[in-house]
Amino acid sequence: MATSIVEVCSLEDTVEQLPELCKRIGFKLSKLSLALIKPNICGLYHPSISLLYGAVRFLLTGVRSVIIGETRSMVHDPEDQFRRLGILNLVKNFGENVVALDLSNDEWMKVKVPNPHVLREIELPKKVLEADLLVNIPRAGTHSTTLLTCASKNLFGLLPQKHKYSIYHPLGIDKVVADIAQTVRPHLNIVDVGNRVIIGSDILTVDIVACKFIDLDPLKIEHLRLIAHDRGEKLEKIKNSIQVVTLK
């Protein structure tokens, strides 16, 4: 396992210096057609709207169009949340090249899971597969079922069904999250952990680092262990290989 660099920064520094911060973790923004930002706005925790603003502003320096996309949950509908949280106003600041979309309304495409735990295939919104760049922006928090909700768990929110929790809970949410992580690989993860932000290119390493900020032991998080196993690695070894760069 190669050393993975994860940065921990203040929210203000992240918003103002995101291009440079991303460059330091090895993320280079290319000239692309479409970027999809997946924030967690239909769950229990949502990321800072200023963080979303900074991400959109950064992406538009290289990407032609940006979608802020979310699917329905049993708790919220994306369109209501876009309006309530000010995301519709954010989008208006950037003009026609940025839109906020309810991805549950998109065409659903079936994707095979290479080495399934419980799902041989998953359904994903077509825009997820069409995007040249996927940026994952969750807010880290604790969760009654999976203990941790962060970058990996945020991918569960790409499943387009409104009643996804009741559909997939009997299968084991941790196993479902691990299956999704085999098929969906965000290029950039920007995690809101309160007054700090974690930036990394790998969902597993940013989740491990996020655990420190919410008093969780990453070695006890089942979906993290499964994701590591699917990569042929031990979770503890990955944890010990992470290089964390903390900016004051």
Low-confidence ranges of the chain (pLDDT < 70): 1-3, 248
The residue type at 77: D
Q: What is the pLDDT of residue 247?
A: 84
Q: What is the pLDDT of residue 248?
A: 66
Residue 157 bridge partners (DSSP): none
Q: Write phi, then psi, for 198 (nearest 5 degrees).
A: -105, 130
172: which 2 tokens?
């084991």
Q: What is the pLDDT of residue 211?
A: 98
Pairing of strands 141-143, 108-112: unpaired
Please give the C-alpha separations between residue 65 and each of 31, 59, 183, 224, 233, in angstroms, as whole numbers: 11, 9, 23, 32, 36
What is the enclosing helix (H) or strand (E) of 84?
A: helix 78-84
Please give the C-alpha separations between residue 87 and each of 49, 94, 99, 154, in angstroms, as whole numbers: 7, 11, 9, 18
The pLDDT tens digits for 106-126 are 999 999 999 999 999 999 999
Q: Write phi, then psi, for 192 (nearest 5 degrees).
A: -85, 120
Beta-carbon-side half-sphere exposure of residue 190 (alpha carbons within 13 Å): 31
Structural domain boundaries of the chain?
4-246
Q: What is the pLDDT of residue 165?
A: 87
Q: What is the pLDDT of residue 43?
A: 86
So what CATH class is 4-246?
A: alpha beta
Q: What is the pLDDT of residue 1?
A: 52
The pLDDT tens digits for 79-105 are 999 999 999 999 999 999 999 999 999
In angstroms, the CA 79 to CA 39 distance is 13
How do the residues of the chain divide into helix, strand and coil, expressed in percent and rounded to 5?
45, 25, 30
